[in-house]
Amino acid sequence: MVITYSLSETVNMFLREIIASGLAVFCAWCVLCLFSDQERGKEVPVSMKKITSKSAFSYFISSQIAAFTISLVGSILSTKWDNIVWNDEIRQFYLHVGFGLGTCVFCLLVILHEKFIKRNSNVYSDYCGSLAVSLTGVFVLSALYLTFSLPFHYEERLLNDASLVASDGVENSVVFADGRYWVFELGLPYFKQSLLKEVRRGRYQLICTTEKKPTCWSGKKLPEKPASLKASS
């Protein structure tokens, strides 16, 4: 699915990705401060030097940088007409939360190794800080994306009657579909009246072709009766 967003939507996605990762890192740092005081002055076993709460925090930051880099590269590769279309929030959710979970799995594997292979009786007191730091970051990321991006929300329906009624040929377009108007802050190349469907992906409304690899455009679907008319009536 190739989705084209307007410039304002693209900028907002970029900023929300930065803010979400920043908040997750900040919350993980707060948890790090709690456990760093407990680890300070404690003798650290050789096997534990690689997975203290401080190192887990570093791993979590690295995972977010890696996810952001992949998002950036993917956006550049999907560039059209010299415009960078930022990866949408659903892809961001899978990238950032997935990489964060990778950090958690690594910490958990270390705990299991210490518990069952090395028979470390103090494994939980020694290693719980590392797992808590990474889990906090993942929890914050998940909460933010699930609340504001709705990554698991998807529905679609065919449009029986759709036509392009106005366009400046560059940025702004208006489509009339099934008795409702859609406003797009971008042009609609390859618009075909007979091959269109309405798609709700996350919190965005799209008009898409019905091909195997659909092309979609993000727009705003106007209500049947604007709020100003409802108030006057």
Q: What is the pLDDT of residues 74-101, one digit of tens each?
A: 887 776 654 556 778 999 999 999 999 9
Q: CA distances (Å), 115 to each of 44, 46, 103, 120, 125, in order?
A: 16, 15, 19, 5, 12
Angle at 45 between CA 40 and CA 47, to 5 degrees: 120
Lowest mean pLDDT across 52-66, 142-156, 217-231: 217-231
The whole model's pTM is what? 0.81
Residue 119 has pLDDT above 60, yes or no: yes
User: Phi and psi at residue 132, in whole multiples of 5°?
Assistant: -65, -40
Q: CA distances (Å), 170 to each of 36, 155, 166, 195, in order?
A: 55, 29, 11, 22
Structural domain spans, the chain: 2-148, 154-232
Q: What's the pLDDT at 187?
A: 75
Q: Which two tokens stand for residue 208?
A: 């898409």
pLDDT band at 16 (very low <50, low <70, confident <90, very high): very high
CA dihedral 23, 9, 5, 102 (to 10 degrees): 0
